[in-house]
Amino acid sequence: MTFLNPLLLFGLAAAAIPVILHLLNLRKLRTIDFSTLKFLKELQQSRIRKLKLRQILLLIVRTLMVAFIVMAFARPALRGSLPAGFGAAASSSVAIVLDDSYSMMAADEAGERYSQGRKASSDIVSLLKEGDAASLLKLSDLPKLTIDPPTHDFGLLGEVIDRGRPSYVRRPLGDGVAAAVRLMDQSNDVNREIYIVSDFQKSSLTGGAAPVAGGTVPATDPRIRLFLVDIGLRPIANAAIDSVAVLSRIFEKDRPVEISARVRNFGDNVVKDAVVSLFAGGTRVAQSNVTVEPGSAQSITLTFVPRKSGPVDGHVGLETDELEPDNIRYFSFTVPGRIRVLVASGKPDDAKFLVPALRAGSAGSSGGAGGGISTGGSRAGSAGDGQSAMEISQVGAAGLARANLREFDVVVLCGLPSFDRADGDRIRNFVGAGGGLVVFPGTDSDPANYNRMLLGPMSLPEIRGTTGGISGTTGSTDGGGPNGASGLYFREIDFDHPLFATIFEKTGRTDDPRRLSPRINRSFDFRATPRSRSIITLSNGAGFFLEQAVGSGRVALFSCAPVLGWGDFPMKGLFAPLVYRTVVYLASGTDRLEQFGVGAEASIAVRQGATLPPGAQYALRLPDAVEEFITPSSSGAGLLFKYPLLPLPGHYRITAGDATLALFPANLAPEEADLAKAAAAEVDTFLAVHGFTEEQVRRLPAGDQLPGRITEARFGMELWKYCVGLVLLLALLEMAINRRAGGEKTLEN
């Protein structure tokens, strides 16, 4: 027995009123005997006994009437298994948690699993009675509820269920359980029922539980009953592409790009010679076969050559099986067209080797002590149409302050003496919005100013001093360079960095960095930090060439000026290809290789260049070709676009008129591809984490027998109507007693 309005039980104190009145009527009176009345004493004794019995009976009836009136307002309820029909008087609050994740698209002998779940949900709705209230919680709609607040319109609820389709958005099952429990806590009904309609994947049993202090989980209200409606007759084998990665980091027209894909076999049988295809722009450009053992994964690398510049939308596809959506994963990248480069130098001579190197690219032949420099990249300095791939603008220190950085893809700072705060802020905003920055020191460069105005605000490695053998510099030389020359030299080269992917021929590459090293007479002392990467390290442990991501852009730091006074670096065969590929690398937008998950929020930074139409109206084009207008916010030197929830897998385009500003992919959650069901013990553990006990849980297999099983399992009845009925019966009994007493008095008279 429980009470839905327990505070009203304090009203039971009113039941004492009839008792108090009865006691007041029992006050002692002084007896005076009359001799003429003595013969009546024997008769009076029997009458008095009847009168006292009637008074006690009326006292009991009136006390019970008051008690039952109070109990009716307190709404007593009886809990426990009751015969069908007897407990139908109790209203119920019902929450249906419907798993609509894409794993429910799989089919077995009973048809598509989501169709089975939809029918089971409709069966639950058909059992609801007048006075019940129901809510629908499709997992893909969380944290919002599909139907909120709870509705009494079961026709509308049924229509919403019938119109539903599986979603590509994945939410943990625990989030649905937690949301349903919160709904039940707000209910005043005695029957509080949660129905989970799901295929109960092992991978979905996460989320929702929030431990309190001490690591414990608060117990769920014991009045809540949980019904598990299990969808799926048999295990389903499945294979999926669970990841795709763009291995290349430098993208050039007519140069190969490598794509890696991993195929995972979730079934118990070998996936043999499955066809994996690579598509770019909707066209198949590569294909291979893969064999994957049960419960394992196999990676495969596919290569293709982009034939035009601009955004490239691609995907890797696996041949069909019993679950289709997870057989495709998407990727994208951008092949730069004409790279707009701004070279700002302190003096004209500071860039006299740099600018020709950018124009020549890697077209130069091998040379120097290193050898092995490939001539296979002769197109690197050309756009393939007879025009230079780079559009280079050169300014002095004063021109940097007047330059509109939004018009450029990469800014190269070469030998600038110092920066003011305004220049530092403009450069930092430019890089944060996706621009590329290359920094070369110069003879007149002030390390303290660099640290304070440029490097420090961007959290880049700061200059710790100057080393070298030129008179007037601090530090000392490190002898033992190549061919016995004094000075600093290369100690380590990160040959795995994308910059070196095509610079060296396999037959000519040397593993001794000193054979590639120039003679370095002077350099700034940069030291790599946890956020930066040292690509080339000098013999004194300082970095010669470092890179670091800053916001949506990247920065490359060289510790040696590209002039002969600091060493013979500009004369080495490594100089031109390294400088050129660094600029191309920074312009390739490596940050745009990020892949979003379906159901996640997308945040895309776009540099606001001169090519953007003034007053342009921005739109987001979804994979199903639907366009939505989107308003960006300002982000430094660019625009920041945010979209709260990506509903579909595929490619999303941010456009301004006919121009594509950004292209990015969204992919399905790979965990959903594992269709393995959770064992009963795993489900019990999952429910225990959410505070449910074994007594609260009922397991109901889906199928034609589901309505009958639910009817047998439902329980609970409110007793306030019976209390009111008892009050009426007691009132009739009191009237009958009083009428009999009045009749006896009449007869006596």
Q: What is the pLDDT of residues 72-110, one digit of tens each?
A: 888 776 655 444 444 445 688 999 999 999 999 999 888
Q: pLDDT tier at 4 (50, 70, 90 boundaries)? A: low
pLDDT tens for residues 522-573?
A: 999 998 889 999 999 999 899 999 999 998 889 999 999 999 989 999 999 8
How much is the pLDDT for 184? 92
Q: How high is the pLDDT of residue 385? A: 43
- CA-wise closest residue to 440 among 423, 421, 463: 463
What's the rounded mean pLDDT across residues 269-279? Answer: 94
Tokens 């309190």 -> residue: 212
* pLDDT band at 646; cut points 50, 70, 90: very high
How far does Cα 561 stand from its chain's mean position? 45
- Dump pLDDT digits (tens) for 199-245: 999 999 987 766 555 555 567 888 899 999 999 878 888 999 999 99
pLDDT of amino acid 484: 44
pTM confidence score: 0.76
Residue 16's pLDDT is 78
Q: What is the pLDDT of residues 276-293, one digit of tens each?
A: 999 999 999 999 999 999
Residues 6 or more apart whose CB falls under 8 angstroms from that of 49 comprise: none
Q: What percent of the chain has pLDDT over 90?
A: 48
Residue 604: what pLDDT?
Answer: 86
Mean pLDDT in residue range 40-58:
68
Segment 403-455, tens digit of pLDDT: 989 889 999 999 999 999 999 999 998 998 888 999 999 989 999 999 999 99
Q: How far apart are the C-alpha atoms of 167 and 161, rounded to whole Å?
A: 13
Beta strands in 155-269 (DSSP E): 191-198, 224-230, 239-246, 257-265
> Per-residue confidence at 153, pLDDT binned at 50, 70, 90?
very high
| Residue of 672, 666, 671, 616 lying closest to 644 (CA atoms) | 666
Q: pLDDT value at position 378?
A: 30
Q: How confident is the model at residue 635 (pLDDT cuts 50, 70, 90)?
A: low
| All residues at 6 or more sequence positions from 386 whose CB lies less than 8 Å from its CB, including other chains | none
224-230 sheet: strands from edge to edge? 133-138, 92-98, 191-198, 224-230, 697-701
Q: pLDDT by residue (tens digit) across 102-137?
A: 999 999 888 999 999 999 999 999 999 888 999 999
Percent of the chain with pLDDT over 70: 80
Q: Where are the alpha helices (DSSP H) in 675-719?
A: 680-689, 706-713
Task: Reply yes or no on whether the pLDDT at 482 is more than 80.
Answer: no
Tokens of 14: 């009113």
Per-residue pLDDT for 746 more than 60? no
What does the block give as tokens for 597? 């998950």
Helix (H/G/I), strand (E/B), else coil: 178: helix
CA 476 to chain centre: 53
For 508-519, write each residue's pLDDT tens digit.
455 677 788 899
- The count of residues in the chain is 749
Cis omega (within 30 of 0) on the bond before 149?
Answer: yes
**Cβ neighbours of residue 614 under 8 Å, at least 6 residues apart?**
none
pLDDT at 495: 87
Distance, in Å, from the CA atom of 49 to the CA atom of 191, rounded to the nearest integer, reads 50
When comparing pLDDT for 689 and 607, which is higher? 689
Mean pLDDT throughout 6-16? 77
Distance CA 431, CA 409 (A): 10
State the pLDDT at residue 472. Answer: 36
Phi, psi of 367 (to 5 degrees): -175, 180
Beta strands in 69-223 (DSSP E): 76-78, 92-98, 107-108, 111-112, 133-138, 191-198
Residue 669: both structure tokens together: 């959650």
CA dist list (Å): 243 to 71, 285, 297: 63, 19, 11
Question: What's the whole-number mean pLDDT along residues 349-367?
Answer: 72
Assess whether the previous peptide bond of 294 is cis (omega < 30° from 0).
Answer: no
Three-class secondary structure of residue 153 per DSSP: coil
Q: For 69-78, 255-264, 431-440, 488-497, which range has the lowest pLDDT when averaged over its residues?
A: 69-78
User: Has residue 377 got a pLDDT over 60?
Assistant: no
Q: Which residue has the higher pLDDT, 624 or 45?
A: 624
Residue 311 phi/psi, 5-degree rounding, is: -65, 140
The mean predicted confidence, pLDDT, of the chain is: 82
CB 599 within 8 A of CB 649: no
Q: What residues have CB less than 8 Å from 308, skipping those under 6 apart? A: 253, 335
* Burial (0-12, 13-18, 19+ Cβ within 10 Å), 372: middle
